[in-house]
Amino acid sequence: MKNTVIKYGLYAMITGFVLFGAPFLLGMDLSFDYGEVIGYSAMVLSLLFVYFGIKYYRDKVNDGKVSLGKAIGIGMLIALFAAFGVAIMDYIYTTQINPDFVNDYLEYSIQKMKETLPTEEFKTKSAELTQQMKDYGSSGFMAFMMFASVMIIGFIISLISGLILQRKN
């Protein structure tokens, strides 16, 4: 199991790191909406290795058998690698590539709220968002949130993969 997790986990980590960071490393200036789509796509694509890792373990290592619990365990360990890859790229992006990300995103979000919300609601929501960004807008916290997001999606993919791939004696 260890070799399978490491092999597919490294594939997931590299995929998450590269796909999550490719637009930024290639100098593409993306809108925040488009960047969000690319980010979630990178997470899901890197987590496809969860399915392939569980399948490999079942078919090549464990004589065609895998329980749901074992499948989820393998999947979550592979997802851990993917989460690290995405979180590391997020941290690099917000500290080195675009250290003004928090301010830029806050400005973008407030402008979007201003266009869509009534005046009173805008004042309340923009004040809340500004406070949230002050409290939680550090690069480390944002990287942690990316890590947590990948792990949650990874659990869902592990569960679905385990249900699909489980085989008993």
Task: Give the C-alpha separation, 99 to 58, whole Å.
Answer: 44
Kindly tell me if the per-residue pLDDT of 165 is higher than 70. Answer: yes
Contact between 96 and 24 under an 8 Å Cβ cutoff? The reply is: no
- Mean local confidence (pLDDT), 132-138: 81
Distances (CA, A) of 169 to 6, 54, 58, 62, 72: 26, 17, 12, 11, 18
Sign of CA dihedral 47, 52, 54, 57: negative
Kindly tell me if the per-residue pLDDT of 159 is higher than 90. Answer: yes
Task: Give the C-alpha separation, 141 to 135, whole Å.
Answer: 10
Q: pLDDT tens for residues 13-36? A: 999 999 888 877 666 666 777 777
Domain range summary for the chain, segments of one domain joined by +: 2-99+139-165
Q: pLDDT tens for residues 63-119? A: 899 999 999 999 999 999 999 999 999 899 889 888 888 888 888 888 888 888 888
State the pLDDT confidence band at 45, using cuts at 50, 70 and 90.
Answer: very high
Mean pLDDT rounded to a whole number for the chain: 88
Two tokens, residue 106: 């806050």
